[in-house]
Structure 1
Amino acid sequence: MLSRTAENLFWMARHIERAENTARILDVAHRSSLLPLDMEGTEAYLWYAPLNITGCAGGYEKKYGLARSDAVTHFMALDADNPSSIYSCLRLARENARSVRGAITSEMWEVINATWLEVNRQSRQMSEARYGDFFEWVKERSHLFRGVTHGTILKDIAFNFIRLGTHLERGDNTARILDVKYHILLPSVADVGGAADYYQWGSLLKSVSAFEAYRKIYRDVISPLRVAELFILRDDMPRSLHACMNEVETALSYINGNSAREARRLAGELHAQLHFGRIEDVFGRGLHEFLTDFLDHIDLLGREIRDAYLSRWDRVPRLDMRQVA
């Protein structure tokens, strides 16, 4: 397969996954904002969380200044100047798909094209009250694209580059969501274990469609240790780091190639760390430190994949999570 074709498939999948994750993050932020705000500046503090998760804080501050719900929502959802916005991600996904029409099925193209046309239309008439429905729509379109992909495309190298992009992006986002909630979201230590803390952990679980899974596995009150275990080590949780690395390692094994030995080594190292890890050891080391190290390795793995397979690296800049330490 030509490296440019592989690159377009890889980034098509990453942009669609990123659009869905941004919709999930904004949906949780809107839910959390419904809690009573009992201190000055709480709104700005709350709305910096989604900006920090996605690495958009710098670009937002230059354009809007202090974080406000309406401005953050527009910037992350429909602002064409933000390369990580839902609008930009779906536009880029469509451009990548158009470049590889011969490598994807007509059904896949129709879903991506229709999604872009609809989001372009909605961007001109969106109101604050309609954002909740918009986020649900974005998630549904992403689910539809993955379903159509699995149901229509040959399980060949093209499929595995799509698989690789999807799960590399998903693992990156899961780590960021968990780290920002655990490390910087609570305004004070006194809130730990309180009603706001419980609500935020519940919202976090809902943001990755894991609330029912948590209840089924643990059947107990929501606790940070168990949420972290679910997000990091459970390979039966579709959005966990372990599950994502299962898919990444399998995709790389199928693609193969002598030039990708270092990428496969890094993927195997990350996978082994998650497969044999214990949550007590993660917390003993420090959850923030563990997640920062994971993000560093994901970034390095992405660079190795670029060097082995892709013709260029159009990676949207992300926040270095060490900056929130």
Structure 2
Amino acid sequence: MLGKTANGLYWMYRYMERAENTARLIETGQRIALTRLNQTDEEWASVLQSADSFYGYNAAHDEISRDSAIDWMLRDKDNPSSVLSCVSAARQNARLVRTAITGDVWEAVNSAFMALKTTLARKVSERDLPSILRLIRHHAALVRGVTHGTMLRNDIYDFARLGTFLERADNTARILDVKYYVLLPSARAVGTSLDNVQWESILRSVSARGGFRMEFGAGGGPREIAEFLILDKRMPRSLAFCAGKLCDNLGYLTSDGDVGQASVERVNALKNGMLSKSIDDVFDYGLHEFLQKTLEEISGISRQIEQDFRFYA
């Protein structure tokens, strides 16, 4: 496959996943902020930091407010990671690789763009925000569903999956970091009902509450939630699950030669290094420090994939 085609597929699915994940990050900030007794708009700085949008936002705005932060993350065209920008970029990449994807996939991506372009044409009110976030998740799930249902399991599919799971792992780490490092009011709140409500919000934001309750019942706490979202290989949004899928799809792509072996080695290093620790080791290491290190590893894997498969050749 040509590097440009692989690049288009990879980024098409990264952008669709990022659009959904940005919506989830907004929802996380919204839910956690509602649990705070002394709410201030400055709290949204933490959400912007986790979305890696803080500096861009500051360059465009004089101060931080909830409404402007949400608007920046949802629909601002000057923010390349806004939901609208991501879906637009996904559609553009889909156009470039139109002959490599099925008609159903193209229609799902195009439909997502048209629907969100209309919905996000104006600022979203607080009343409408929950339904808009659900709509974004719905369209992302539709693209994912038709991909699973109509695409051949070949190198085209593998590059799509690489983009999906790299972006998903990155997002799960960022959502966890919002909770633990930034939005927790103080060390005194650890273990309180406020702390538990915020951890529950994290589960909801990654659609993991049902699976977690099946596994732990009503007794699971913050330690179990962190373990579930980091180390559980059955949970589709956990870091360990995403790393496993990256290994699988890179394995398929590299089975016939040496191309991509450096990427395989980097994913295996993450899987057998940071993600082989116990949850006690993670907390001893420092959850924030662990997540930041993992994000660095994910970024390195992304750069290595682009280099190995000559995306821009």
Q: Same fold (TM over 0.5)?
A: yes
Q: 1:150-299 alignment to 2 at 5 Å?
A: 150-256=148-254, 257-273=257-273, 276-299=276-299
Query: Which residue of 2 is the match for residue 320 of structure 1?
Result: none
Corresponding residue of 1:74: 71
- Report the residue type matching 1:180 in the other structure: V
For 1:118, which of 115, 121, 127 is the aligned residue?
Answer: 115
- Which amino acid letter does the alignment assign opposite residue 233 of structure 1? L
The corresponding residue for 1:107 is 104
Shift of 1:215: 1.4
**Alpha-carbon distance between aligned partners in 2 of 1:233 and 1:218, rounded to the nearest angstrom:** 15
The C-alpha deviation readout for 1:23-54, integer Å capped at 9, x for no partner, is 1111222223333543xxx4223212220111
**Cα displacement (A) at 1:61:** 1.6
TM-score normalised by L of structure 2: 0.94
CA drift of 1:140 comes to: 0.8
CA displacement, residues 193-248 of structure 1 (integer Å, 9 cap, x when unaligned): 23322221111110101111221111244522111100111001110001001110
Please report how far the alpha carbon of residue 289 of structure 1 lies from its aligned counterpart in structure 2 after TM superposition: 2.0
Give the distance between the partners of 2:41 and 2:199, measured in 1 at CA: 20
For 1:137, which of 103, 127, 135 is the aligned residue?
135
What do the CA deviations read for 1:252-306 (whole angstroms, capped 9, x no partner)? 0011141311111111121223664311111122222221221111111111101
Structure 2 equivalent of residue 26 of structure 1: 26
Post-superposition Cα deviations, 1:294-319, rounded to whole Å, max 9, x if no partner, equal 11111111111011114339xxxxxx
CA–CA distance in structure 2, aligned partners of residues 36 and 180 of structure 1: 14
Structure 1, 190-199 or 209-218: larger mean CA deviation? 190-199
Distance 2:246 2:286 in 1: 25
* 8 Å contact kept, 2:112–2:140: no
**Greater mean deviation of Cα atoms: 191-200 or 292-301:** 191-200
Q: Distance in 1 between matches of 2:174 and 2:289?
A: 12
Shift of 1:60: 1.1
Q: Which runs of 5+ in 2 are unaligned?
A: none
Q: Is the 8 A contact 1:17 1:142 kept in 2?
A: yes
- Does residue 62 (structure 1) correspond to residue 62 (structure 2)? The answer is no
Q: Give the equivalent residue in structure 1 for 2:15.
A: 15
Q: Is the 8 Å Cα contact of residues 201 and 222 (structure 1) preserved in structure 2? A: no
Q: Mark the CA change 1:131 to 1:310 in structure 2 (over 3 Å): closer, same or farther.
A: farther
Q: Distance in 2 between matches of 1:234 and 1:219?
A: 16
Residue ranges of structure 1 left out of the alignment (5+ in a row): 314-325
Letter in 2 for 1:72: A
Counterpart Cα distance in 2 of 1:25 and 1:198: 18
In the superposition, the TM-score normalised over structure 1's length comes to 0.91
Q: Give 1:92's aligned residue.
A: 89
Structure 1 position 96, deviation (Å): 0.2
Aligned residues: 310
Q: Find the residue that maps to 2:99 and give its secondary structure.
A: coil
| Aligned mate of 1:148, from 143, 146, 149 | 146
Alignment pair present for 1:48 and 2:13: no
Q: What is the SS of the residue equivalent to 1:102?
A: helix
Runs of 4+ in 1 over 4 A off after TM superposition: none
Q: 245-254 or 262-271: which moved more?
A: 262-271
1:157 maps to a residue whose letter is D
Which residue does the alignment assign to 2:124? Answer: 127
d(CA) in 2 for partners of 1:204, 1:67: 23
Q: Distance in 1 between matches of 2:119 and 2:278?
A: 45
User: Could you tell which deviates more after superposition, 107-116 or 223-232?
Assistant: 223-232
Q: Distance in 1 between matches of 2:275 and 2:31?
A: 33
* RMSD of Structure 2 on Structure 1 (CA): 1.6
Query: Per the alignment, in what secondary structure is the counterpart of residue 236 of structure 1?
Result: coil
CA distance in 1, matches of 2:207, 2:104: 26
In the TM superposition, what is the alpha-carbon distance from 1:191 to its structure 2 partner?
A: 2.1
> Does the 8 Å CA contact 1:260/1:308 hold for their aligned counterparts?
yes
Residue identity (%): 38
